[in-house]
A and B are shown apart, each in its own frame.
Chain A
Amino acid sequence: MMLSIIVALAFGILASWFLRNLAARAEGRVGPPLLQPLWDLLKLLSKGSVGNVAEVLPLLSLLLVMFAILNLPFFSSSGEDLIVVLYALTASSIFMTITGASSGSPFSVVGGSRELQQTILAELLFIASCFSVVALANSTSFHEIEIYHLTHGYNLLLIPAFVAMLVACQAKLRKAPFDIPDANVEVAGGPMTELSGYALAMHELTYALELYCLPMLASFIFFGTDYIASLMLSVVIIFIMGVTAATNARIRVGTSVRILFFTFILALLVTALIYIGGNLHEVVI
C-alpha cells in the first residue's frame, strides 16, 4: 500500500524531470539536473507561505489522487472498480480548479474559468474513452477488463479510443497545446498564481502523482498490462506527451474546447460502434 505511493512519487518526480528535459533538448538546451523536481518540492515545503487562498483545497486534491492510485488494479489488496478511480481523478481536478477561483486575484480567476471550461470536456473525454473498453468487457470491474484482454485479441476500434485517451491526458495535465489555463505570460500561472510555499508544493505533488496515475490507468484499461509492463508503457505515453508538448504552440481556449469536443464525439462514436457491434453479434448467434 505504502509502497505503491512511494513508487508513484518516484515515478512522478522522474517523469516531470523527463518532461522538462525533453522540452530543454527540443530547444537545444542542457536541461535541469535529475533531481531538480525533488529539490523544487522540498524547497517549497520548507518555505513560508503568504497569500489569501483556501490552502486546504490543494491538499484535498492531493489526497484524492492518492486515493485513485491506491485503487489502481495492480496489487491484490487494491481496487476493483473503474468508476472509483474515475470519480477520484475528476474530483481532484475540480478541487484544483476551485483553488484558483477561491482567491481574489483576477489572474487566477481568469485561469480558473479557462481551466473549468477545458477540464469538464477533458474529463468527459477521458471517461468516454475508458467506456469503449467497458463496452467491450461488458463491465466496469478491473477484473473483468483484465479477463477480457487475456481472452480476446486486440480490437482495432480501440486504437482511435486510445488516441482520444492520449488527448484527454494531455488536456488533463495541461500540457501544450492545452496549457492555456496556466499560461505563464498571460495569466501569471492561472489557478496557481496565489499559491505559495506549502500549498504550491501540494499542487506540484498532485501533478507528479497524476503523471503516474493517468498513464498507468490508460495502459491497464487499453492493454490489460501487469505492473511492470504498465510502467514501461507509461514511460512511452509520457514520451509521446513530452514530444507533443515541446513541438506544439499554445492554442486559444475556444480552439482547445472545440478540439476536445470533436475528440469526445469520436470516442462516443467508437463506444457506440463497439456496443452496437457486440449486440449485433449476440443477435446473430
Chain B
Amino acid sequence: MVAEKLIRKSPWIYLMGLAGCNGCDIEIAATVCPRLDPERLGVKLVSSPRHADILLVNGTVNKKLVKPLKEVYGQMADPKIVVAVGSCAISNGPFRECYNMGCRVDEVVPVSVYIPGCPPRPHAILYGIKKALEMMK
C-alpha cells in the first residue's frame, strides 16, 4: 500500500523496445526531452529493470522475444506495472500476419494501460503514464 502511494511520487521507467519499427522509441525519447520534461513529475528513465516501477513496452513480440519479455518483467521488484505503447504492442499492428510473430504483449505480461497510435504523440504517452499511476492505489 505504502509502496504504491510512493511510486506515484517517483515513478521510475524502464523502456523495453521489442521488434517494432523504432517509431515509438523516437516518440518516447521525445517524451522525456525538455519540452514536456516528465522529471517535474518525478519520472526518471532508468537503465536496469531492477530499478524500475513501470515497464514501458513498445513493438511487437516475435517468437524470439517472448522469453526475454517474461524475464525482464520477472526482474522488476514488486509492485510493478506495464504500459503498452503503440499499435504494435497492443495488437502487433501492421506486422500481425508476419511469419515470425509470437503473440501479443498482454498474452505474456499483464498490461495495465494501452496507449494507441502509430506512433502515439509524446503527450499521449505522458497521459498514459499518468493514467497508469492513477491506477496504482
Report chain A residues within 8 Å CB of B3.
43, 46-48
Is B48 touching A29 in the complex (CB atoms < 8 A)?
Answer: no
With A43-B6, A46-B3, A50-B76: A30-B48 Cβ-Cβ less than 8 Å: no
Contact size class for A? 20 to 34
Report chain B residues within 8 Å CB of A195.
50-51
Contact size class for B? 20 to 34
A153 on the interface (CB 8 Å rule)? Answer: no
Contact count A vs B, C-beta below 8 Å: 84
Is A188 touching B77 in the complex (CB atoms < 8 A)?
Answer: no
Is A189 touching B77 in the complex (CB atoms < 8 A)?
Answer: no
Query: Which residues B34-53 have CB closer than 8 A to chain A?
Result: 34, 37, 39-40, 42, 44, 46-48, 50-51, 53
Rounded to whole angstroms, the CA-CA distance of A50 and B48 in the bound complex is 12
| Chain A nearest CB, measured from B46 CB (Å) | 7
A42 on the interface (CB 8 Å rule)? Answer: yes
Is B34 touching A27 in the complex (CB atoms < 8 A)?
Answer: yes
Q: Which of A36, A42, A47, A189 has the most CB of B within 10 A?
A: A47
Is A51 touching B10 in the complex (CB atoms < 8 A)?
Answer: no
- A interface majority secondary structure: loop
Report chain B residues within 8 Å CB of A33.
40, 42
Is B40 touching A43 in the complex (CB atoms < 8 A)?
Answer: no
Report chain B residues within 8 Å CB of A132.
none
Query: Which residues A18-47 have CB closer than 8 A to chain B?
Result: 20, 24, 27-33, 36, 39-40, 42-43, 46-47
| Chain A nearest CB, measured from B53 CB (Å) | 8
Cβ proximity bits A152-189 to B, threshold 8 Å, 1 near / 0 not: 00000000000000000000000000000000110011
Rounded to whole angstroms, the CA-CA distance of A27 and B2 in the bound complex is 33
Given A31-B40, A48-B77, 20 further pairs, Cβ under 8 A: A24-B39, A29-B37, A29-B39, A30-B40, A33-B40, A33-B42, A36-B42, A39-B42, A40-B12, A42-B6, A46-B3, A47-B3, A48-B3, A51-B75, A188-B48, A189-B46, A189-B47, A189-B48, A189-B51, A194-B48
Question: Chain B: residues with CB nearer than 8 A to chain A?
Answer: 2-3, 6-7, 9-10, 12, 34, 37, 39-40, 42, 44, 46-48, 50-51, 53, 74-79
